[in-house]
């Protein structure tokens, strides 16, 4: 059965993750908790199915690479610069506090200082997945709280990437003891990192966009997906083999290069969904390390770890935000949102185990802390309002709720969301789309075009028309185009793939959106209206109307007669599905 190990690992891991992920989601918790528990179920410390740990670890490594590629792909300097005065010092202070508390606490339990520091670093960084989920669920993602929290977490992620690079240089097989040896090791590591960064951004920055442009011209979605995977995995592996640095850093840099091109949105929407599947296996592989029997031997470590995550980290964040004179609500929200740990914590711990720096029980303690903090975090976030009210009711705590000063507000140049009074999204820029866009611009309506032709996108942007390169059926593409604030959505091409899916996703983002759809055939009208289209314009019907009007004019009919007959035909063709008396397409 050895030849089935890969299939059994995938099937067992995914099935357990799906079942427990659904269960935890229904209970109002993050699915990550379910994935970790799935690892416990299929792991060696519980009865029943046991998957191959070695294969699971290798698949999890792919998940780490794709995860880091996604982080680089979504990393934008502008967003970070907008909140740099709070995000940068906040990430540094909170990371330092968590690291010190972790090191001191674990040293008290008998660990070495090195193990304690690495463990402290692991619990200092929050989960991007959990943070985003909490902010979205509470409608805080596009508020000052959301911008600060995301910027804060980006800085923590960058700091973690740096640590992932430095650890092998300090403690790997090639590390040299002594002060001079340490300086030499760090110097060589810095040179390698610098060479990798230069190579990736200079050579990769020239080659990758051109290669993706060439692949895009084939029109094959499969080849584009494959090309993005080759970029992510190829640079990650090359970073380790040629430059001696972590694959995680290589993948992160590859993501940043693609993010600077026109392909960032399409790569995120089409090529990275599989990242989520491999990331699930990463959490499953971490859960497989949990031995609940041995966990009972050190409950004090678990309690101390949870105390640092839920009390120490938030207290440091709240203190800094309050000292910088931000509103109390913002401080509490940011502090609570960051009071959890996730994927980067496990990546750091995995490297610590590979370098023999962490004791065996570290994985158990870390996973227990992650499961508990991720489970409690959404519930704690809902208490931000009541806690704020309680603080304001007690005079001795009112100093915490000072309003932000104009100077501090000025230091928060968040990019405001554009809320055009008349905004529209046009999918497709063929002859119909071109006419619609021109008429919109002539009538004070600001259109955004979604197109899969890269040359068309470049041309539109050169003409100062906002254009998004990507597949319209993906939620991220529609969000980038501004569907959430638009008044109209126009599907201008009669051959748009997945038209009903585009309408469904757009309706979820903006229920008040007016959706106008063009189709070639009358038989598609009923399905498109059922999907949520307000108006459907079928080519067959419009041709029939034009021909009828021409015939009536030639026969000498009056304008009133033509209008009356046109209205009757329009009601027959468009007000209901075509009957047996109306010829179907192609008849």
Segment 240-260 mean pLDDT: 80
Place of tokens 């999890």: 60
17 band by pLDDT with thresholds 50, 70 and 90: very high
CB-CB contact of 400 with 423 (8 Å)? no
State the Cα–Cα distance between residues 428 and 438, nearest whole angstrom: 13
What is the structure's pLDDT at 76? Answer: 64
In this structure, of 102-106, 114-118, 534-538, the range with the lowest mean pLDDT score is: 534-538
CATH of 423-574, one of 3.40.50.150, 3.40.50.720, 3.40.50.1100, 1.10.3720.10: 3.40.50.720
**Bigger pLDDT: 483 or 576?**
483
pLDDT at residue 574 greater than cutoff 90:
no
What is the structure's pLDDT at 80? Answer: 62
Q: How would you classify the pairing of strands 466-469 and 514-519?
A: unpaired
Sort 191 into a burial class: Cβ within 10 Å, 0-12 / 13-18 / 19+: exposed
Contacts of 323 by beta carbon, 8 Å cutoff, 6+ apart: none
How many residues are given for the chain? 587
Reading the block at residue 265, the tokens are 């949105």
Phi, psi of 424 (to 5 degrees): -145, 150
Hey, which of 137-146, 251-260, 494-503 has the most confident mean pLDDT? 251-260
Which stretches of 463-524 are DSSP H helices?
Answer: 475-481, 499-509
pLDDT at residue 103 greater than cutoff 80:
yes
What is the structure's pLDDT at 497? Answer: 58
In whole numbers, what is the pLDDT of the chain averaged over residues? 79
State the Cα–Cα distance between residues 513 and 342, nearest whole angstrom: 37
CB-CB contact of 289 with 60 (8 Å)? no
State the Cα–Cα distance between residues 342 and 122, nearest whole angstrom: 9
State the Cα–Cα distance between residues 161 and 156, nearest whole angstrom: 9
306 band by pLDDT with thresholds 50, 70 and 90: very high
Q: For the chain, what percent of residues have pLDDT higher than 90?
A: 11
| DSSP 3-state of 356 | coil
Domain ranges for the chain, please list them.
2-384, 423-574
State the Cα–Cα distance between residues 17 and 39, nearest whole angstrom: 8
What's the distance, Cα to Cα, between the start and end of the chain in Å?
A: 57
State the Cα–Cα distance between residues 228 and 230, nearest whole angstrom: 5
CB-CB contact of 112 with 133 (8 Å)? no
Q: Does the domain made of 2-384 have the CATH classification 3.30.1490.20?
A: no
In this structure, of 16-30, 56-70, 350-364, 437-451, the range with the lowest mean pLDDT score is: 56-70
pLDDT at residue 212 greater than cutoff 70:
yes
CB-CB contact of 483 with 476 (8 Å)? no
- DSSP 8-state symbol, 423: E
pLDDT at residue 420 greater than cutoff 50:
no
Contacts of 83 by beta carbon, 8 Å cutoff, 6+ apart: 147, 148, 151, 152, 412, 414
What is the structure's pLDDT at 407? Answer: 36
pLDDT at residue 174 greater than cutoff 70:
no
State the Cα–Cα distance between residues 97 and 100, nearest whole angstrom: 5
Q: Where is 169: in which H helix or E strand?
A: helix 144-171
pLDDT at residue 416 greater than cutoff 80:
no
CB-CB contact of 569 with 544 (8 Å)? yes
């Amino acid at each position: 059965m050895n030849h089935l190990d890969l299939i059994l690992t995938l099937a067992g891991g995914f099935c357990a993750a799906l079942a427990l992920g659904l269960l935890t989601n229904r209970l109002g918790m993050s699915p990550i908790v379910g994935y970790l528990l799935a690892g416990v179920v299929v792991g060696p410390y519980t009865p029943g199915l046991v998957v191959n740990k070695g294969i699971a670890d290798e698949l999890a490594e792919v998940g780490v690479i794709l995860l880091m590629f996604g982080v680089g792909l979504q990393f934008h300097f502008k967003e970070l610069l907008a909140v740099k005065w709070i995000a940068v010092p906040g990430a540094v202070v909170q990371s330092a506090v968590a690291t010190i508390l972790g090191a001191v606490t674990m040293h008290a339990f008998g660990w070495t200082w090195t193990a304690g520091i690495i463990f402290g670093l692991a619990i200092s960084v929050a989960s991007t997945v959990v943070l985003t989920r909490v902010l979205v669920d509470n409608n805080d993602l596009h508020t000052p709280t959301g911008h600060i929290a995301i910027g804060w977490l980006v800085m923590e992620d960058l700091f973690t990437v740096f640590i992932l690079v430095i650890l092998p240089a300090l403690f790997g097989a090639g590390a040299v003891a002594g002060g001079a040896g340490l300086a030499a090791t760090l110097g060589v590591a810095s040179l390698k990192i610098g060479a990798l960064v230069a190579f990736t951004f200079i050579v990769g920055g020239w080659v990758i966009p051109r290669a993706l442009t060439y692949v895009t011209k084939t029109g094959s979605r499969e080849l584009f997906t494959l090309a993005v995977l080759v970029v992510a995995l190829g640079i990650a592996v090359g970073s380790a083999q040629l430059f001696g640095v972590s694959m995680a850093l290589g993948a992160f840099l590859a993501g940043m290069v693609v993010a600077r091109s026109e392909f960032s949105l399409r790569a995120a929407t089409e090529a990275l969904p599989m990242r989520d599947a491999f990331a699930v296996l990463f959490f499953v592989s971490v859960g497989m390390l949990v031995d609940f029997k041995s966990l009972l031997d050190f409950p004090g470590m678990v309690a101390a770890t949870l105390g640092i995550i839920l009390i120490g980290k938030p207290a440091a964040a709240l203190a800094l935000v309050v000292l910088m004179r931000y509103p109390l609500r913002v401080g509490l929200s940011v502090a609570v949102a960051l009071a959890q740990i996730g994927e980067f914590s496990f990546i750091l711990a995995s490297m610590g185990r590979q370098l023999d720096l962490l004791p065996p029980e570290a994985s158990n303690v870390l996973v227990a802390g992650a499961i508990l903090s991720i489970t409690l975090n959404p519930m704690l976030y809902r208490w931000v309002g009541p806690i704020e009210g309680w603080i304001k009711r007690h005079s001795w705590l009112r100093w915490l709720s000072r309003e932000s000063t104009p100077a501090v507000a000025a230091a928060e140049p968040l990019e405001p969301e554009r809320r055009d009074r008349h905004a529209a999204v046009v999918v497709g820029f063929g002859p119909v789309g071109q006419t619609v866009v021109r008429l919109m611009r002539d009538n004070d309506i600001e259109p955004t075009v979604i197109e899969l032709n890269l040359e068309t996108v470049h041309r539109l942007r050169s003409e100062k028309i906002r254009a998004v390169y990507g597949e319209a059926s993906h939620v991220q593409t529609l969000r980038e185009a501004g569907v959430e604030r638009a008044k109209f959505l126009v599907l201008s091409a009669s051959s748009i793939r997945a038209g009903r899916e585009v309408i469904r996703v757009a309706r979820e983002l903006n229920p008040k959106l007016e959706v106008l759809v063009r189709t070639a055939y009358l038989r598609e009208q009923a399905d498109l209206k059922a999907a949520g289209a307000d108006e459907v314009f079928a080519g067959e019907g419009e041709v029939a109307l034009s021909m009828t009007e021409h015939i009536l004019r030639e026969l000498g009919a009056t304008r009133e007669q033509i209008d009356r007959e046109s209205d009757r035909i329009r009601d027959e063709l468009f007000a209901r599905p075509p009957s047996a008396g109306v010829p179907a397409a192609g008849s």
